[in-house]
Amino acid sequence: MSDAELKAKLKARLLAGIGAQIDSIDNAPGDLAALLQGVAFEAAPVGEAPEGAGAPGGGPDDLARMVNAYYDEAFYSRDGIMGLLLGETEFRNIGLWDETTSNQKEASERLFDALLAFLPEKSGRILDVACGMGASTRRLLRHFPAEAIDAINISQKQVETTRANAPGITAQVMNAVDLRFTDASFDNILCIEAAFHFETRRRFLEEALRVLKPGGRLVLSDVLFTSKERLSQYPTLPSAENHLATVQDYRALLEETGFREIDAQDARDRIWRPHFLHVVNKVHEAFLERRLNLVQLTEILWAYYNLDVLTGPCLLVCARK
Ligand SMILES: C[S@@+](CC[C@H](N)C(=O)[O-])C[C@H]1O[C@@H](n2cnc3c(N)ncnc32)[C@H](O)[C@@H]1O
């Protein structure tokens, strides 16, 4: 059976099953209104490409525009999943979890701390690449003086938030694959959960190596995807050239670009899996408390089912120049 036929069968099966459930809601008057409370039928479904998403492969400016359109909206919104998950944290990553981790904020802090633990000496200058809203940059202030910290991000809006969140550091709008720093500027570089957006990881690693001092370290977390072809369906992701399938591929790329003493681990079971289960739990809690309606619940769950299929190894990496 072809993929198109399978998709058609899946849709028919699920829609028929869900349709039958919806029909039977008639038997308990009032339930439908309760389940649908606040549905904005005219709003774009969760998981749909943002307004203006063009055909894939539009070049670096298009990629930056799409990345910024997506994150500058999603990061600052408290609607849907963001409001349910984030609490007070301004980290925007899926985090690192263990049995004591009870929320997304703790998971993101744990991820940051695990990456910093790779650095034996927390001294000299450090660069926070793709700093997001500056939660990581702010936490760096626990280890480094403000004058020793630089942060970059591709979005002006997020750079401004970073300046407010981490006073005294230097934050600039800059693309990770085109670092406007002189050679051998930094003792360490941090990059949390962003390199899957870069056009390409190779260019970023070359740039990171160039701006690191000899002996300096790059620490990062990154997510690999399971399908090269499917990446082109996401306007916020770069070309298929950025695709890496395995930890071994990642290690080989680091070696080819000139890094040594490479520690690259797949921590999917401590990163994606617990984040996924946490989200599933949170959305059901919200549904039971009528903070999410049936349509929102269903759309978020399907977006997460899709992401689960696409999410491969989740890497924690430390490498040395
Ligand atoms: C999943 S978020 C992670 C943000 C932050 N590191 C954190 O952990 O909270 C990915 C970030 O990468 C940034 N980004 C994407 N492509 C970039 C690029 N080419 N150069 C710099 N930043 C980029 C986005 O703007 C976004 O802030």
Each residue's pLDDT tens digit, 210-251: 999 999 999 999 999 998 887 777 888 888 889 999 999 999
Q: Are 200 and 172 in contact (CB under 8 A)?
A: no
Q: Is 71 in the pocket of ligand 1 (CB under 6 A)?
A: yes
Task: Provide the pLDDT confidence category of residue 56 given band limits of 50, 70 and 90.
Answer: very low
Query: For residues 259 and 320, what is the distance between their CA atoms, to the nearest angstrom?
Result: 5
DSSP state of 48: P
Q: Which residue has the higher pLDDT, 24 or 102?
A: 102
* CATH of the domain spanning 104-267+314-320: 3.40.50.150
For ligand 1, the distance from its centroid to the CA atom of residue 25, given in whole angstroms, is: 44
Query: Mind listing the pLDDT tens digit for each residue in 161-197?
Result: 999 999 999 999 999 999 999 999 999 999 999 999 9
C-alpha dist (Å) from residue 104 to 1, 120, 198, 265, 288: 41, 27, 25, 21, 20
Q: Is 155 in the pocket of ligand 1 (CB under 6 A)?
A: yes
- What is the dihedral angle through the alpha carbons of 152, 71, 237, 134, rounded to the nearest 10 degrees? 30
For ligand 1, the distance from its centroid to the CA atom of residue 3, given in whole angstroms, is: 33
| Ligand 1 atom closest to residue 152's alpha carbon, by position in its atom list | 21
| Ligand 1 atom closest to residue 133's alpha carbon, by position in its atom list | 9
Taking CA atoms only, the protein residue closest to ligand 1 atom 10 is 194
Q: Where in the chain are the domains?
A: 104-267+314-320
For ligand 1, the distance from its centroid to the CA atom of residue 130, given in whole angstroms, is: 4
pTM of the model: 0.91
Report pLDDT for 234: 83
Task: Point out which residues pair with 317 in neighbouring strands.
Answer: 220, 264
Q: Is the pLDDT of residue 50 over 60?
A: no
Q: Which residue has the higher pLDDT, 49 or 297?
A: 297
Task: Point out which residues pair with 190 in neighbouring strands.
Answer: 128, 219
Taking CA atoms only, the protein residue closest to ligand 1 atom 15 is 197
Report pLDDT for 58: 60
Which residues, in sequence order, are CB contacts of 89 under 8 Å at separation 6+? 104, 105, 108, 109, 135
For ligand 1, the distance from its centroid to the CA atom of residue 131, given in whole angstroms, is: 6
Query: Mind listing the pLDDT tens digit for each residue in 244-281?
Result: 999 999 999 999 999 999 999 999 999 999 999 999 99
Q: Which residue has the higher pLDDT, 183 or 47?
A: 183
User: Which of 150, 152, 154 maximizes ligand 1 atoms within 8 Å of its Cβ, making it the mutation to test the pocket?
Assistant: 154
Q: Is 175 in the pocket of ligand 1 (CB under 6 A)?
A: yes
Q: Is 165 in the pocket of ligand 1 (CB under 6 A)?
A: no
Q: Is 65 in the pocket of ligand 1 (CB under 6 A)?
A: no
Task: Provide the pLDDT confidence category of residue 156 given band limits of 50, 70 and 90.
Answer: very high
Report pLDDT for 232: 78
Task: Provide the pLDDT confidence category of residue 54 given band limits of 50, 70 and 90.
Answer: very low
Taking CA atoms only, the protein residue closest to ligand 1 atom 13 is 130
| Ligand 1 atom closest to residue 72's alpha carbon, by position in its atom list | 25
pLDDT average, residue stretch 114-136: 97
Report pLDDT for 48: 62
Report pLDDT for 96: 98
User: Which of 153, 162, 173 maximizes ligand 1 atoms within 8 Å of its Cβ, making it the mutation to test the pocket?
Assistant: 153
Report pLDDT for 55: 46
For ligand 1, the distance from its centroid to the CA atom of residue 190, given in whole angstroms, is: 12
- The number of residues making up the chain comes to 321
| Ligand 1 atom closest to residue 197's alpha carbon, by position in its atom list | 16
Q: Is the pLDDT of residue 62 over 80?
A: yes
Cα 264 from chain centroid (whole Å): 19
Q: Mapping DSSP to helix (H, G, I), strand (E, B) and coil, where does residue 150 land? A: strand
Report pLDDT for 49: 53
Give me the DSSP letters along 233-251: G-TTS--GGG---SHHHHH
